[in-house]
Structure 1
């Protein structure tokens, strides 16, 4: 399995499938490299290389207990891209992953990156301040983080349905998939979960977005319970000079679960489609061998 040791000595796990133009996925808060695997498999079938990363404190990566600010996380992303020799990439950031991509570009530039996609990204700024009155009050965010030390399981049960849009048209998600998402977040390092949320809420990207001139695809659901379309996707589109916003009707925050096939189609259109290398007819016999 591929690992890379970062400049801070933290070992990070990443998945690296296929060959061709690279598409690199940065996952949501509490999620690991499993999150986009359906879309990754689609892209590999279309001739792309798909890479996803376990953020520090997530999945199989080390749990150092620190380094959850966006500067350090951007440095981690830079170390993975360098190690994997990535060039001309599409970087795809879901939720918190969007902030990692933006901070990577403002710290390292776009030498390795050709374009970016922001999926339900928690950008540009979530904290309530005098010039951001619709944000989350700081004391509310701090109380929530404190409750997670011993009450994360109860919070996840309360918030799992809004995350996947239970009751919304087209948002039927199998119980096993919903449970896997909740388990991923619950099993994430508690210190990482708390401090990553602090970074997500308190980091202001408003001054950074206008400096990013790469082609940018913004995808946001109009029923996102984690960051609203108005506070997220629409503001991103206003600040990013070379961006296109696609709004998913009845789309929640967990779009990989509810709209995976559509995400694949939109990413392929954004990339410029390539022919399938290994097309399989549903009428053809398909062998199966269990994979460890």
Structure 2
């Protein structure tokens, strides 16, 4: 199986990736608490349309190494940078879902855009999840702390119910079957418990508002107006105001997991953007 290795001062981490197709490289960065398997409905379409599709498992998730520490966004972005460097990618498109939007923005902050042609933020946490005095539409801190407490006390019980809210399950039973929930539970519950908590702290606490100016490449923003995990008011709407060169698509009745519930709509937006 293909891996790239990120050797840092205090650790060596192996990152699993899959690489299919030919043409301009499109790098898919998954959300929390899943793995690159979450891109199933996008991967085939990207390849079918003539692009090289590369997806990888974030450290601590899927088939990648699971160090005890080092889940801050600069470290996560360094894994992405190693993937780009070791595969000698140029003119790449970064596509970040949910937590993965953080890697997109932090990569552009820490490493620049020389190798990047475009970016896409799908149901992204960018720029800020947590509610603050100057971010009143964010998720209240007590709700975030409740997630962390539940992960610490009984992670698998929390994950068993999490994806019902992820997909607004009761409203989307035509596209999300009980088997989909079970599949996601199997992926999420198999991740490192430590990584699951530390990654949640990263997406909950990191404020990217000052970094939006570093997103200088054309950027697609897609967010559902019924997202119960990362409300559009604290994420998509603010990202669209802070990123100069953007195309903003709002998915009507779209939940957080619109990559499954509204896969055709998302794929159309994404392919149109890649070809534009």
TM-score under structure 1 normalisation? Answer: 0.89
* Among 69, 88, 93, the residue aligned to 1:90: 93
Distance in 1 between residues matched to 2:267 and 2:133, nearest whole Å: 39
- Which residue is 1:220 aligned to? 223
* Among 98, 102, 113, the residue aligned to 1:110: 113
- Which residue is 2:250 aligned to? 247
Residues 1:176 and 1:108: Cα distance change in structure 2 (over 3 Å): same
Residues 1:136 and 1:224: Cα distance change in structure 2 (over 3 Å): closer
Following superposition of structure 1 onto structure 2, how do residues 100-249 of structure 1 map, counting pairs within 5 Å?
A: 100-168=103-171, 172-249=175-252
Task: Give the CA deviation at 1:237.
Answer: 0.2
**Which one has the largest radius of gyration?**
1
Higher helix share: 2
What SS class does the counterpart of residue 210 from structure 2 fall into? coil
- Which residue is 1:6 aligned to? 6
Distance in 2 between residues matched to 1:259 and 1:85, nearest whole Å: 33
Residue 76 (structure 2) pairs with residue 37 (structure 1): no
Q: Which runs of 5+ in 2 are unaligned?
A: none
Aligned-residue Cα RMSD (Å) equals 1.6
In the comparison of the two structures, how many residue pairs are matched? 273
Q: Which runs of 5+ in 1 are unaligned?
A: 274-292
In the alignment, is the contact (CA less than 8 A) between 2:129 and 2:204 conserved in 1?
yes
Task: Give the CA deviation at 1:66.
Answer: 1.2
TM-score under structure 2 normalisation? Answer: 0.94
Distance in 2 between residues matched to 1:228 and 1:115, nearest whole Å: 24
In the alignment, is the contact (CA less than 8 A) between 2:139 and 2:230 conserved in 1?
no
Distance in 2 between residues matched to 1:130 and 1:10, nearest whole Å: 38
CA deviations 1:49-81 (Å, max 9, x no partner) are 000110100011001111100010011110011
Distance in 2 between residues matched to 1:181 and 1:98, nearest whole Å: 20
In the alignment, is the contact (CA less than 8 A) between 1:164 and 1:171 conserved in 2?
no
Distance in 2 between residues matched to 1:177 and 1:254, nearest whole Å: 11
Distance in 2 between residues matched to 1:27 and 1:137, nearest whole Å: 24
